[in-house]
Amino acid sequence: MNSLILITRKGCCLCEGLGQKLAALAPAPAVVVIDVDTDPALQHRYGLEVPVLLLRSSAGDRELPRVPPRLTGAGLQVWLQKQGFFGQEA
């Protein structure tokens, strides 16, 4: 099954909000949270452009478009489905 990688930064309210919204989905997707500041390569790649959501599948990791910050619940699930998260095997 697919999973998500959420690249965040401590103290980032958008990062925390997205993490909470993902955790509130039913069923909640598998999410690996990585602090951008703990990895120099991620810091170089993303800098201040967090949160970043990646889709991890058998085809590899793919960066998803920026999640609209006002999406919640069913709207977020529909958005994830359009991005290929639901209904595909890893």
> Domain segments of the chain: what residues?
3-82
Looking at 3.40.640.10, 3.40.30.10, 3.30.830.10, 3.50.50.60, the CATH number of the domain 3-82 comes to 3.40.30.10
- Against a cut of 0.85, is the pTM above it? yes
Q: What digits encode the pLDDT tens for the residues 40-65?
A: 999 999 999 999 999 998 889 999 99
User: Please, what is the average pLDDT of the chain?
Assistant: 92
Sign of CA dihedral 22, 23, 25, 26: positive
Can you list the alpha helix ranges (DSSP code H) found in the chain? 13-23, 40-46, 73-82
What's the pLDDT at 87?
56
Confidence check: pLDDT of 76 > 60: yes
